[in-house]
């Protein structure tokens, strides 16, 4: 059972205290942006084996949504950060690059 740290309230808690929300940093496509953009937004997910950015909500805590970088194979959590960003923080990218040489953000 994963341990996650909520970046808002600072609580480290078990997975059951959080609710998962799927892949992070999706770009919303609305009306008029074309069927391909809409299809990519609604259905296409990278589902990587390795580094993955994902959405979590501290559902049984402060209620805030946040984002996490996690390795889907080893379960290592590289870091969590507030959801009000459109890309992962550069320090986190550096951390992951150090730990996973050769990895580059998508």
Partner 1 sequence: MAHRLDTGGRLIDRAAPMDFSFNGKGFRGFAGDTLASALLASDQMLMGRSFKYHRPRGVVARGHEEPNALMNIGAGPFFEPNQRATVTPLTEGLEAESQNHWPSLETDAGAVNGLLSRFLPAGFYYKTFIHPRPAWKHLFEPFIRQSAGLGRAPKEPDGDRYEHFYRFCDVLIAGGGIAGLQAALKAGESGARVLLLEQAPVWGGRAAIDGDDVDGQPAADWIAGAVARLEAMPNVALHTGVMVSGVYDHGYVLAAQPVPGHRPGSSTSRERLWRIRTDWVEVAAGAIERPLSFAGNDIPGVMLAGAVRDYLADFAVVAGARTVVVTNNDDAYRTALALHAAGQAVPAIIDARAETDSPLIAAVREAGLRIAFGTGIAQVVGGKRVTGVRLCPQSGDGTMTEEIRCDAVAMSGGWSPAVHLFSQCGGKLTWDADQAFFRPDPERAPMSVDGTPFVFAVGAANGHLESAAAQADAAGTPIPAATEALIAPVWRMPAQAPVKLREKTWLDFQNDVKVSDVQLAAREGFESVEHAKRYTTLGMATDQGKLSNVNGLAVLGDALGREIPQVGTTTFRPPYVPLNMGSIAGEARGPIFQPLRKTPMDAWHESHGAHWEPVGHWRRPYCFQRSGESMEDAVAREILSVRREVGLLDASTLGKILVKGPDAGRFLDMLYTNMMSTLAPGRCRYGLMCSENGFLMDDGVVARIDDDTWLCHTTTGGADNIHGHMEDWLQTEWWDWKVWTQNLTEQFAQIAVVGPNARTLLERLGGMDLSAEALPFMRWAEGEIAGIPARVFRISFSGELSYEIAVPAGRGLELWERLVAEGADLGVAPYGTEALHVLRAEKGFIMIGDETDGTVIPQDLGLDWAISKKKTDYLGKAAQARAHMTDPERWKLVGLETLDGTVLPDGAYAVTEGNNELGQRNMIGRVTSSYRSPTLERGIAMGLVQRGPERMGEVLDFPLIGGGVTKARIASPVFYDPEGERLHG
Binding site for partner 1 (CB under 8 A): 1-3, 14, 19, 21, 28-33, 35, 38, 41-42, 55, 57, 59, 63-65, 71, 74-78, 83-84, 99
Residue nearest to Zn ion (CB): 6
Determine if 19 is a binding residue for Zn ion (CB under 5 A): no
Cα first-last separation, the chain: 27
Residues in Cβ contact with 42 at an 8 Å cutoff, skipping those fewer than 6 apart: 29
Strands (E) across 60-103 are located at 65-71, 77-82
Name the token pair of 68: 């996490």
Which residue, 52 or 58, has its beta carbon nearer to Zn ion?
58
Supply the minimum distance, in Å, between the C-beta of residue 46 and partner 1: 18
* Position among 61, 65, 79, 83 found at the interface with Zn ion (CB under 5 A): 61
CA distances from 39 to 42, 47, 54 (A): 5, 16, 19
Which residue, 17 or 100, has its beta carbon nearer to Zn ion?
17
- The total of other beta-carbon atoms located within 10 Å of residue 4's CB is 20
Site of interaction with Zn ion (CB under 5 A):
6, 8-9, 58, 61-62
């Amino acid at each position: 059972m994963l341990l996650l740290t909520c970046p808002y309230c600072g609580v480290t808690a078990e997975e059951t205290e959080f609710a998962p929300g799927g892949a992070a940093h999706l770009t919303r496509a609305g009306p008029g942006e074309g069927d391909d953009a809409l299809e990519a937004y609604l259905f296409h997910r990278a589902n990587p084996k390795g580094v993955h950015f994902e959405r979590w909500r501290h559902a049984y805590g402060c209620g805030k949504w946040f984002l996490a970088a996690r390795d889907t194979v080893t379960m290592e959590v590289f870091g969590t950060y507030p959801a009000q960003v459109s890309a992962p923080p550069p320090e986190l990218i550096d951390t992951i690059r150090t730990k996973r040489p050769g990895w580059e953000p998508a």
